[in-house]
Amino acid sequence: MRGSIRIGSVWGVAVRAHWSVPLTMLLFAYGLADRTLPAYTPGLASVAYATAGVVGALLLLVSLVVHEGAHALMARRAGVPVRDMTLWALGGMTRMDRPTTARTAFAVAVSGPLASLLLGGAAIGAAAGVHTTLGWRLPVAVLGWLGATNVLLGVFNLLPAAPLDGGRVLQAALWWRTGDRERAQRAAGRSGQIIGIALAVVGWLTLARGVTGGLWLMIVALFVATAAAAERRWAQLALALRGVRVAEAMTSPVVTGPDWLTVDRFLSDVAARTRHSVLPLLDFEGRPSGVVQLRRLMAVPPGQQQALPVRRLATPVSRCTLAAPDELLTAVLERLGAGGGLPVLVMDGAHLHGIVTAHDIQRLFQRHTTCKNHGTAANGGGAGRQGIAA
> Where is 352: in which H helix or E strand?
strand 351-356
Asked if 80 and 99 touch (Cβ cutoff 8 Å), the reply is yes
Q: Beta-carbon neighbour count of residue 177 at 10 Å?
A: 10
State the Cα–Cα distance between residues 186 and 239, nearest whole angstrom.
10
The helix/strand count (H/E) of the chain reads as 14, 11
Q: Cα(first)–Cα(last) distance of the chain, in Å? A: 59
Q: Using the CB atoms, write b or e for 219-237: b if 16+ within 10 Å.
A: ebbebbbebbbebbebbbb
Three-state DSSP class for 275? coil
Dihedrals phi, psi of 282, to nearest 5 degrees: -120, 145
Beta-bridge mates of residue 95: 84
Q: Is 68 a catalytic residue?
A: yes
Half-sphere exposure of residue 109, counting CA atoms within 13 Å on the CB side? Answer: 26
State the Cα–Cα distance between residues 140 and 134, nearest whole angstrom.
10
CA dihedral 375, 249, 364, 238 (to 10 degrees): 90
Beta-bridge mates of residue 263: none
Dihedrals phi, psi of 45, to nearest 5 degrees: -70, 150
Catalytic annotation, pick one of 68, 182, 248, 334? 68
CA angle 306, 310, 315 (to 5 degrees): 155
State the Cα–Cα distance between residues 356 and 179, nearest whole angstrom.
30
Q: In the sheet that 82-88 helps form, which strands lie side by side, from edge to edge? A: 4-10, 13-18, 82-88, 91-96
Cite the active site residues. Answer: 68
